Amino acid sequence: MDGLSSTLYSIHSLSHLLRVLSPHCAIKPLLYFCSSQIYVWLDALVNYLTVSGFPWSSANFTPVVSWPPDFQFIGKDILRFHAVLWPALLMAVNLPLPKHLICHCHLLFDNVKMSKSRHNVLDPFEEQRELTPRLDHVPPSTADCEGLRYVLLRSALLNSDASYCRKTAKQLIDTELVNCLGNLLSRITSKRLNPNQSVVRMSREEAGVLFNQFSEDSELLESLDTLAAQFDYHWWVHAQPHLAVERVIGVLRQTNALIDRHKPWRPGVSSVEPEHIVSLAAESLRLAGLLLQPVVPNLATRLLQRLGLEETDSEESKLQLQNKYFWTLGEDRGPLLTRLA
């Protein structure tokens, strides 16, 4: 095992992990050999191998699921079994260990741990329906889980327990996806601000020259320069998706503030032409659409389509301002999102 999540040590001490197993461990009869018994955790852990097709043929190592896993996610209350017993079992039979073990905390319901005995569990399908905006132009099946998906990925579950509340979840979606992302898209695609329904593309150098009236403009450009790297750092290196998404939302807030400062609809306020303000805002949205693909894939795709971006404009290698004269916005199919609360 190459490494454990750094959060491991903030949840359980090493003394807890290495404590000798209780002599009163839970056991159960074997299914086909009732006279014999097996330790319940041994029976449970072996299932990881079973679903990957174990035992594999030594002549043809073709597991159904890739083994060993690059990352194995487990809850904090069963960390000890996965960080001590599970590696020991694998080493005993000369099988490779999971490369990384990531321990997560609990999703609480109104600040109380969910359990079958308390009957305070959530119905994910009900929450999914409650957190899905109904849009006439979007078939329900294409985006009916993305609200819940977004809320869960925005929860800091690797650092601490997070409490789920439907009211708070709706407010989060309204604040970040509707007000911040959706409103920004509506602003730069409106006929008032963008009568030609097109976007002029600037180079990074040109943007640096044009946007020098406010220090906040330079900060936005710097944020755009580093956004993709910051996103990857938090998501892929430290497995903290909530921080990765937070960086994207932060840039969108900066971009909304850019429009508020320059007021492109009011002549004489800004030295920058409205088309260049729209261009910079569109670049922020383009990056957001690319980076939010693993979070809200359908919403992100609709965002990019409304911006009129082709597949070649959405490649990861183009996460930067490019030289291009202009492109035409995509079809206006109605609001990206509607408020939930």
The list of the chain residues with pLDDT below 70 reads 1-39, 57-65, 134-143, 310-326
Question: Which pLDDT score, from 0 to 100, does residue 28 have?
Answer: 56
Length of the chain, in residues: 341
**Those residues with Cβ within 8 angstroms of residue 2's Cβ, 6 or more apart along the chain or in another chain:** 99, 100
| Number of neighbours of residue 241 by Cβ within 10 angstroms | 21
pTM of the model: 0.80
Angle among Cα 44, 48, 53 to the nearest 5 degrees reads 125
**Those residues with Cβ within 8 angstroms of residue 309's Cβ, 6 or more apart along the chain or in another chain:** 286, 289, 327, 330
Check: CB of residue 178 under 8 Å from CB of residue 124: no
Q: Please state, in angstroms and rounded to a whole number, the distance separating the CA atoms of residues 297 and 305.
A: 12
Q: Please state, in angstroms and rounded to a whole number, the distance separating the CA atoms of residues 182 and 127.
A: 22
Phi, psi values for residue 244, rounded to 5°? -65, -45
If we measure between CA atoms, which residue out of 294, 283, 323, 329 comes closest to residue 309? 329
Check: CB of residue 161 under 8 Å from CB of residue 108: yes
Question: Which pLDDT score, from 0 to 100, does residue 53 have?
Answer: 79
Looking up tokens 């597949």 gives 311
Question: Which pLDDT score, from 0 to 100, does residue 255 have?
Answer: 97
Paired residues of 71 in beta bridges: 100
Q: Please state, in angstroms and rounded to a whole number, the distance separating the CA atoms of residues 239 and 309.
A: 29
Phi, psi values for residue 240, rounded to 5°? -120, 75
Phi, psi values for residue 319, rounded to 5°? -80, 55
Q: Please state, in angstroms and rounded to a whole number, the distance separating the CA atoms of residues 281 and 103.
A: 38
